[in-house]
Structure 1
């Protein structure tokens, strides 16, 4: 294979509340090399997090050589402005209107692109995972909260200000549970990992006999309970854990029906840690979705599937978006905004 035939490599960086994960990704979505650091505490100054990102990028560039990498994509958990350069707000970090791209570009020798982590994960699933071949895709990510993204005809829909996809803060219960965002009744208070654990702990602290198996699993201390432990119990046949996941799934279906009424996608891809429960979650979600879908029985019904790429979807998508943004894959993301070369992002 000649140098001209070598696939264009890019680096993806996924910034979460606990880790900064990076990988060298080829144009088929394969992660060839990996690097990882702990995320600095959010009380630290922005420059400390940027130092950590540069350390990961430098380690990966050293492995493959800077000449082999066409771009670096950053996927950040937070609000990313439509310029794909500025992190407006990152709840788990100290970034507030942080000019992240420019700060990193001074220290990294290849083009930098910044995006929301859910946008990056959705792009990866559309390119290489569960949503391949679908023209209208909506991804819903279930972790401690709920995030998401919308892709239409091969473009990420980001909204006028770049902050589309914050589905978790749709109000589904007026006057309901207080949300960290300051409002009440947000969807993520009923269909997220936090909601799952909260409901299980309420049974445990009330000494409900139906929570005895869960209590045994955490040594009698409800504070030790986690979402994965509940999923593990449900998969082992614990009926209370099954019911808790079904309740979360039902709320998931309600929200998805609302999103279908507003956006009419062909496919919902469900990602994030809670999606590891599989059909214990998605079965109830599909059932409730059908009951609440506007025009049910008279319209095509969107599919609801689990994401395929797991924890690496964010870095794979960030890397691929950066490669496309750098013009190294011109066949992807056609129809971008006029005057923005090879930019696969719709800005509103």
Structure 2
């Protein structure tokens, strides 16, 4: 009999669910906008409704469990949401325990960055690799690592907050409250902010903030047409990403670095600059490490969440 797991990806904007088989194939998926301001009871009811859809179309005996990917910080040892800033009321909240009550199946909880790393390791670009780092570059920056064939979780399961390593002393203010974080310089949000600041200082560009919101997509589109400012901004973004990735090479010694998130859609444009920075500034022994694009795309965390259930079932 084929076995399945339900993966849940809980975010501040959307809650997504998928029925996933042992090979990482998504058989069915569903999603809805997260009622983020309504509190935990409402959000957990949203998760229950999405999961129940799969229980109605699949033999419940074939489902080994449910994995949940959620933003941090989380204490995954106790299953507690310590303080999720994008979800009202999720402060010192027993998220795993409350989900277990509602879903009536074994539940495993994981930080979203680590869950995405697990997804790529088990079913994506990192399959068969014992040492990797996954970095999601989107509204913010997060990630996770696999070392010696094991998931790096650290104290309270909170390892992998790579967006909050400092890369510029006393630099730009980060949403976390610190200054100079990788996220404050290399996230999609930071990239767009930098573009908006530079447009007003530069006359020879097709980019404009008059009457429209200047975002990362419009910068890359302008770069593709040869716009000099847009190309300069993209090259700077690649260099900053390379700086952060170089730090991760030295910390984790991975075989590959996997880039996911919204900006990974522009990976081919960013990759040469990222690799050039790493080739110049990484210690010589680390310079052969390649950066690759996520194979699972936006489903890394969703499939990774399902993989949690499979991994838990194998260990019992």
TM-score by length of 1: 0.86
**Aligned equivalents of 2:204 and 2:43: distance in 1?**
44
Paired position in structure 2 for 1:142: 137
1:267 aligns with 2:261: no
- Cα RMSD (Å): 1.7
Cα deviations by residue, 1:32-91 (Å, 9 ceiling, x for unpaired): 0011111113x3221111111111111222122422211011100112213262222212
Cα offset, 1:228, TM superposition: 2.6
Output the CA distance in 2 between the equivalents of 1:310 and 1:207: 35
Correspondences of 1:225-244 after superposition (within 5 Å): 225-244=214-233
Aligned to 1:305: 292
Q: Residue 64 of structure 1: SS of its match in structure 2?
A: coil
Correspondence for 2:115: 120
Whole-angstrom distance in 1 between the partners of 2:7 and 2:71: 14
Distance in 1 between residues matched to 2:115 and 2:4, nearest whole Å: 16
Output the CA distance in 1 between the equivalents of 2:270 and 2:78.
34
Say whether 1:316 aligns with 2:303. yes
SS of 2:169 mapped into structure 1: coil
Matches within 5 A, 1:1-348: 6-41=1-36, 43-83=37-77, 85-94=79-88, 95-204=90-199, 206=200, 208-211=202-205, 213-215=206-208, 220-222=210-212, 224-294=213-283, 296=284, 298-299=285-286, 301-325=288-312, 327=313, 330=314, 341-342=315-316
CA shift digits 1:256-296 (9 cap, x unpaired) = 111211221111001110111112212111111121112x2
Matched pairs, number = 315
Indicate the SS of the match to 2:23.
coil
Contact 1:28 1:128 in 2 (8 A): yes
Q: Deviations over 1:204-241 (max 9, x none)?
A: 3x262234x222xx7x235x222233233334443332
CA contact (8 A) 1:79 1:162 kept: no
Question: Structure 1: where are the runs of 5+ without partners?
Answer: 1-5, 331-340, 343-348
